[in-house]
Structure 1
């Protein structure tokens, strides 16, 4: 094989790697914008609920007095319960039936909302995790950052493109 063929082969492989990298970056970037928009929609819904009812949405009566540091996964039973409150479907917790949140419909990828599956992130793999400031101190511990705190009544995060909540490098958060 001539030197010219080897150079062409190497350039072809490198070009293919760059194209694959660009494709994967674009695919991940396409998920960022909708994920952040959905999280901001949930944050605004929780704050609007709090304004309307002078309390955070809660499944229990009386509401908890400690922050839900483990969070509500929007695909779990409890997370779906919070979504039902915010969409106005749970009259016992949202007696005025105010629709504070309109979740996106489920897509072929699995992303979006159904009552059975809850709200799945834009990558169609996991739910969003909502942590609420039930102790009303105006601060929430930042998950994955021991000792870190943020001034907020609600924070939300997604596992990101890799679908792993424990790899914080690609997790999408409502507070950054």
Structure 2
């Protein structure tokens, strides 16, 4: 019997909480995404708990890091059991941060990523915001460093970045320079 092994991040916009899973493989199917892209996905069987009800469903596995939600519940999983009211939300209650922490307290915490500084002049610039978001989504600790408030001491043995009046920034794993020619 074939099995699949996969990790899930159960909390929306949180890549640090990880649950390792393995289960028997039910099938492989070609699935067409909402954008029209076709891909072959692994199919597993799992139980779905909603309110006081619980039943078995088939679920396809795919990487949803670039998508809006961690999971989409399809019509076949809900058929004959769930009635959808598009005007309502959180009918069973919205989970609080404390509820989620309690629910996933035994999950593994992802190893922390790199400490990365983004050296640029405009924190509101779309491309700078996207770099910061992308780094955080991948588990890195991102810091915006305003180029106008720092200077660099560059030498072969002890290079340093001094920031906001002389604070030495030496705890970074990487610096991403995004410096306009007019500032260099």
Q: When you count strand as a share of all residues, which structure comes out higher?
A: 2
Rg (Cα) greater in structure: 2
TM-score (norm 2): 0.15
Q: When you count helix as a share of all residues, which structure comes out higher?
A: 1
Between the two structures, name the one with larger relative contact order (CA 8 Å, sep ≥ 6). Answer: 1
TM-score (norm 1): 0.15
